[in-house]
Structure 1
Amino acid sequence: MKPAPLFETAVIAGVGLIGGSVAHGLRGRFLARRVIGYDANSDALRTAEALGAIDEARATPGPWLNGADLVVLAAPVKALPKLAADLAPHLNPKALVTDVGSVKGPVADALAQLGVRNFVPGHPMAGSERGGVEHASAALLENAIWVLTPTDDTPLPALSRARTLVEHLGAAPVVMPPDAHDHLVATISHLPYLASLALTHMVARDERLSLLAAGGFRDLTRVASGDPRMSRDMVVENKEALRAALVRFRRELERLEADLDAPEELLAAAHEGKRTRDSLPVVKRSLLPPKFDLVVAVPDRPNQIGAVTQALGAAGVNIKDIEVLAIREEGGAIRLGLESVEDVASARTLLEGLGFETRGR
């Protein structure tokens, strides 16, 4: 009584924060029949299995990769070309291959040289200063912009499959060329990281400043708490676009410095900044803690959602929130937001007794 998956076997190569979140989404939304985690870090694999992010763990590439019809490259951006080179000889030529790196040009070039077919470069605009699969969650990707950057060699059917994958994970796909992506993220992602470093360095060099660094300063410099090596690699891989963004940023700072002697100009700049900041979209993630969620597969037949809610209501399990995740030809899945871990356990036992397949955390 579960929907046919989009993919039979998915491989997540790199089970960190983003890779683990993709794995949770694939399993939790019944998008893959089996999810295999590939990582050289045995601790990460054990944690991913314990958390239910993956069904199987692999530490070395081999012929087993030929059975995958989806491969997600989720290593740090500098490690992506070598990761792809390690896996490429074993990949099924029909498999959809994508990545989650924050810089697209070098990765797209590397995969093109390897001759990997059906590769669609991608970048989910989501993350956290807390890394590792232990902090991964399918909710991290929900409502996030997910940039897809096809090249001239990307087959259109592969791009269509990648869009479908992103949509079913709850994210919003946006398509643009790799170089356009890299220039845009240089300004909205990589430049703020360098600015955060500069501000935190000023505090580090004057201990008096740390006494006054309150919430506003912490919010402004949050990205400096990310993994130092990964962040370093991210900005270095995009250094040319980042240099151009730094030139524009210096000009803006110089203009604001000049406006210190022109209060009306500075006020106009402040109004412009407020309008721009207030107009930015608010990305809403899952409102309920993932540990209180239960995902239920429902067949494409009348009154299946009603059967689920009526059974839980009769058993005294209170549903606080309900969301239809996806409806496909063979059925779909719904997510139930429940009040407690105990309710999740009770609902799972009841629904599985009625023949429904469930997944939860």
Structure 2
Amino acid sequence: MTTPATPSADSAPLPPPLFDTAVVAGVGLIGGSVALGLRQRFLARRVIGYDANPDVLREAEALGVVDEVRAMPGEWLRGADLVVLAAPMRALTPLARDLAPYLNPAALVTDVGSVKAGIAAEMEALGVRNFVPGHPMAGSERGGVTHARAALLENAVWVLTPTDHTPLTALSRARMLVEHLGAAPVVMPPEAHDALVATVSHLPYLASLALTHMVARDERLSLLAAGGFRDLTRVASGDPRMSRDMVVENKVALREALARFRRQLERLEADLDEPEELLAAATEGKRTRDSLPVVRRSLLPPKHDLVVAVPDKPNQIGAVTQALGAAGVNIKDIEVLAIREDGGAMRLGLETLEDVAHASQILREAGFEVRGRS
């Protein structure tokens, strides 16, 4: 865990964070990535990790994902002005019930669950006024806080699903949070979100299960199931229990999506006797698939990152690069993170962890606040 440095006398004060105290309840892959984003982008003065699993908390604290940890809800929650519910779907509603009595009424509360209608109704029933349901469309087959990365959320679509009772000020704050984490907010009603996700996320999971089951029941198929089949069935590698809970929670919308999918399969089956119709279907499929946006996060060699807070004063980028250049630190990549109007941060891509440690020392001595990530 890093300790903020004291700026030198000639440094401008750092811009205030968006939040004083943020609580991430459920420090797994997504929750841990949110916590890292809050810390590395200087969006919260303090990030507290809450989880019922003490092993998860120990790991999150050891990895520097959070500043401190808590294992039980209590009055300490009233000091938080941001609370992110990041438990798996099955545990999300019980988590909300446990925390609701202690929440600061003025705090922004959001979640990262993949189904929205249920948690939106539950939080309304609990009287949590400033709740904005959310769903970052990001993830990985590898779960747990060990694989959390702030970069997991960058460039991802993050759906916000306010209800008729969501205050506009809360929605505005949630949008600001999402944008400052590097994601792209999209706003729609909870029911519309669940219907769309049933088609683009939950239906492909069930289709992947069906295809992998066919292979599992015929050893000859496994000999021929190469790269294309693996790509098509990738989502079947997700956590079985979490995936089960996800699709069951959205079963009403998913049944409707399954019915539409069956009709599409029946149409394609009929087109086997109509080559021109099948060609038209294939052409439409290629055009649609080729037009889908691609978020490239893994095409470049991995680098070790150092995030530097940049006060709102001239020549700060030059001051950083000149200090490191004079010390022989090779900067492989630079990204300016647009955080706030009165200041922000920049990300430096360095070759080794040794470079990160060396650069951190140099920049702290120059009065900059830094945080490393890899």
Counterpart among 351, 354, 358 of residue 346 in structure 1: 358
Instruction: Give per-residue Cα distances to partners, 1:76-111, cap 9 Å, x unaligned.
Output: 112111101100111100000000000000000000
Per-residue deviation, 1:263: 1.2
The residue identity in structure 2 corresponding to 1:126 is A
Per-residue deviation, 1:344: 1.1
- Is 1:146 aligned with 2:158? yes
Alignment map for 1:262-301 (pairs within 5 Å): 262-285=274-297, 292-301=304-313
**What corresponds to 1:223 in structure 2?**
235
Alignment map for 1:249-260 (pairs within 5 Å): 249-260=261-272
Contact 1:3/1:30, CA 8 A, preserved across alignment: no
Counterpart among 265, 273, 286 of residue 261 in structure 1: 273
**What corresponds to 2:45 in structure 1?**
33
**What corresponds to 1:112 in structure 2?**
124
Query: Structure 2, unaligned stretches of length 5 or more?
Result: 1-6, 8-13
- Is 1:71 aligned with 2:76? no
- Identity between Structure 1 and Structure 2 (%): 83
> Secondary structure of the equivalent of 2:140?
coil
Instruction: Quote the Cα distance in structure 1 between the aligned partners of 2:306 and 2:261.
Output: 46
- Is 1:204 aligned with 2:179? no
Per-residue deviation, 1:327: 4.1
**What corresponds to 1:322 in structure 2?**
334
Contact 1:143/1:285, CA 8 A, preserved across alignment: no
> Secondary structure of the equivalent of 2:172?
helix
> Secondary structure of the equivalent of 2:27?
coil
Instruction: Give per-residue Cα distances to partners, 1:286-324, cap 9 Å, x unaligned.
Output: 766776100001111111111001111111211111111
Instruction: Quote the Cα distance in structure 2 between the aligned partners of 1:3 and 1:219.
Output: 44
Contact 1:320/1:339, CA 8 A, preserved across alignment: yes
**What corresponds to 1:10 in structure 2?**
22
Instruction: Give per-residue Cα distances to partners, 1:17-40, cap 9 Å, x unaligned.
Output: 000000010001000000000001
Per-residue deviation, 1:43: 1.1
Contact 1:259/1:266, CA 8 A, preserved across alignment: yes
Counterpart among 149, 162, 172 of residue 184 in structure 2: 172
Contact 2:303/2:349, CA 8 A, preserved across alignment: no
Q: 1:41 to 1:279 in 2, by over 3 A?
A: same
- Is 1:61 aligned with 2:73? yes
Per-residue deviation, 1:259: 0.9
Counterpart among 124, 142, 153 of residue 130 in structure 1: 142
**What corresponds to 2:252 in structure 1?**
240
Instruction: Quote the Cα distance in structure 1 between the aligned partners of 2:89 and 2:187.
Output: 19
The residue identity in structure 2 corresponding to 1:29 is R
Instruction: Give per-residue Cα distances to partners, 1:113-133, cap 9 Å, x unaligned.
Output: 000120000000000111101
Q: 1:339 to 1:291 in 2, by over 3 A?
A: closer
Instruction: Quote the Cα distance in structure 2 between the aligned partners of 1:230 and 1:326.
Output: 34
Per-residue deviation, 1:3: 2.8
Instruction: Quote the Cα distance in structure 2 between the aligned partners of 1:69 and 1:233.
Output: 30
How many matched pairs?
361
Contact 1:35/1:55, CA 8 A, preserved across alignment: yes
Query: Structure 1, unaligned stretches of length 5 or more?
Result: none
Counterpart among 198, 207, 210 of residue 195 in structure 1: 207
Q: Normalising to structure 2: TM-score of the pair?
A: 0.94
Instruction: Quote the Cα distance in structure 2 between the aligned partners of 1:291 and 1:159.
Output: 35
Instruction: Give per-residue Cα distances to partners, 1:3-23, cap 9 Å, x unaligned.
Output: 311000000000000000000
Instruction: Quote the Cα distance in structure 2 between the aligned partners of 1:177 and 1:17.
Output: 26
Instruction: Quote the Cα distance in structure 1 between the aligned partners of 2:161 and 2:24.
Output: 19
Contact 2:20/2:44, CA 8 A, preserved across alignment: yes
Q: Normalising to structure 1: TM-score of the pair?
A: 0.98
Contact 1:3/1:333, CA 8 A, preserved across alignment: no
Contact 2:303/2:351, CA 8 A, preserved across alignment: no
Instruction: Quote the Cα distance in structure 2 between the aligned partners of 1:69 and 1:113.
Output: 21
Per-residue deviation, 1:328: 2.0
The residue identity in structure 1 corresponding to 2:169 is P
